[in-house]
């Protein structure tokens, strides 16, 4: 376990450089996450016979990718960044990839902000294409988890979102302190476990929107649990009850919305199916 525990000291988060441009492993993992989610969606479209052609699917992914990036960045600034007021008064700095004249990339992204951006982008897309909002939501629910695994691996390789202090033998030394590899816990819980549940359940789907509602519930629960091993953001700390993190608070909101949405959609589906024909 010695090599594993000291892996950060033997690993460079920068994969390679092209002139002044530094390409991080995180960026590579992010691209892999997007590509994997797209091809997973194509597989589901063909396998489960979604009424979607390749061109429409690819256009949808372009829309939501823009929404995810914008939402994730704005969400981080609003929910986590201690310099929120600065960015609100200097909005042109929000997506500035240069710090002090040096290209550093855009750091600081929020998953829950990404969800909001994704939903807004999807809403715009379905208005343009006149397609079913809940059909797209269900497709995303079963396609995204596998891509999410790569996203969390990217966090791990970028040495960010570190875990809490621990004494477990599989811990990772971060600045000479042994910590949980919580990013990998999240990859398993939020990606593999949630994705596997939805993959197995999808053939039993009873109404449109059921899969995305279940995703919100299961992801929220998985993230809530994973947060017990993840170090709270230093600029925020615990936000409630002396133990609850911002991630857990937002995950609880996600669970509640998922449960409420499931109830509303199930009731609507029942009402539609009971109408005389």
Is residue 209 domain-resident?
no
- Domain presence at residue 17: yes
Residue with tokens 């988060």: 13
In a domain, 14, yes or no: yes
Lookup: tokens for 230: 């993840």
Residue 190 lies in a domain: yes
Establish if 76 belongs to a structural domain: no
Q: Rounded CA gap, 139 and 147, in Å?
A: 13
Q: HEC string of 41-98?
A: HHHHHHHCCCCCCHHHHHHHHHHHHHHHHHHHHHHHHHHCCCCHHHHHHCHHHCCCCE
Would you give per-residue pLDDT tens digits along the chain (277 residues)?
789 999 998 888 888 888 877 788 888 998 899 999 999 999 999 999 999 999 999 999 999 999 988 888 888 888 777 777 777 777 777 777 666 655 555 667 787 788 899 999 999 999 999 999 999 999 999 999 999 999 999 999 988 889 999 999 999 999 999 999 999 999 999 999 999 999 999 999 999 999 999 999 999 999 999 999 999 988 788 888 888 998 999 999 999 999 999 999 999 988 877 666 5
Instruction: Quote the tokens at residue 133.
Output: 């909002």
Dihedrals phi, psi of 268, to nearest 5 degrees: -65, -40
Sorted by sequence, the CB contacts under 8 Å of residue 169 that are 6+ apart come out as 1, 5
* Percent of the chain that is helix, strand, coil (3-state, to 5): 65, 10, 25
Number of domains in the chain: 1
pTM, rounded to two decimals: 0.85
Domain that includes residue 38, residue range:
2-52+131-203
Alpha-carbon distance of 218 to 216, in angstroms, equals 6
Q: What is the pLDDT of residues 138-174, one digit of tens each?
A: 999 999 999 999 999 999 998 888 999 999 999 999 9
User: Is residue 63 included in any domain, yes or no?
Assistant: no
Residue 197 belongs to a domain: yes
Q: What is the DSSP letter of 106?
A: -
Helix (H) or strand (E) holding 174: strand 172-174
3-state secondary structure of 161: coil
Pairing between β-strand 14-18 and β-strand 21-24 as defined by DSSP bridges: antiparallel
Domain assignment present for residue 106? The answer is no
Task: Tell me if residue 126 falls in helix, strand or coil.
Answer: helix
Residue 22's pLDDT is what? 78
Q: Give the C-alpha separation, 254 to 214, whole Å.
A: 11
Q: What is the phi/psi pair of residue 244, to 5°?
A: -85, 130
């Amino acid at each position: 376990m010695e090599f594993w525990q000291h892996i950060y000291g033997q690993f460079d988060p920068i994969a390679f450089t092209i002139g002044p441009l530094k390409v991080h492993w995180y960026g590579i993992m992010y691209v892999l996450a997007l590509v994997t989610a797209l091809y997973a969606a194509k597989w589901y479209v063909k396998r489960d016979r979604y009424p979607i052609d390749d061109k429409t699917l690819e256009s949808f992914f372009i829309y939501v990718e823009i929404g995810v990036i914008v939402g994730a960045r704005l969400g981080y600034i609003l929910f986590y960044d201690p310099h929120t007021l600065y960015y609100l008064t200097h909005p042109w700095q929000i997506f500035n990839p240069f710090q002090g004249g040096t290209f550093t990339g855009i750091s600081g992204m929020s998953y829950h902000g990404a969800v909001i951006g994704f939903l807004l982008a999807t809403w715009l897309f379905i208005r343009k294409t006149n397609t079913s909002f809940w059909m797209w939501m269900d497709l995303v629910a079963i396609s995204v988890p596998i891509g999410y695994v790569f996203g969390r691996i990217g966090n791990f390789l970028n040495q960010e979102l570190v875990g809490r202090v621990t004494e477990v033998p599989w811990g990772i030394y971060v600045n000479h302190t042994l910590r949980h590899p919580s990013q990998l816990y999240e990859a398993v819980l939020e990606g593999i476990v949630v994705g596997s549940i939805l993959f197995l359940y999808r053939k039993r789907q009873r109404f449109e929107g059921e899969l995305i509602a279940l995703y919100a519930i299961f992801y929220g629960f998985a993230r809530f649990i994973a947060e017990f091993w993840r170090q709270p953001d230093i600029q925020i700390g615990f936000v409630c009850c002396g133990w609850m993190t911002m991630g857990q608070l937002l995950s609880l909101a996600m669970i509640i919305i998922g449960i409420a949405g499931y109830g509303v959609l199930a009731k609507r589906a029942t009402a539609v199916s009971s109408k005389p024909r």
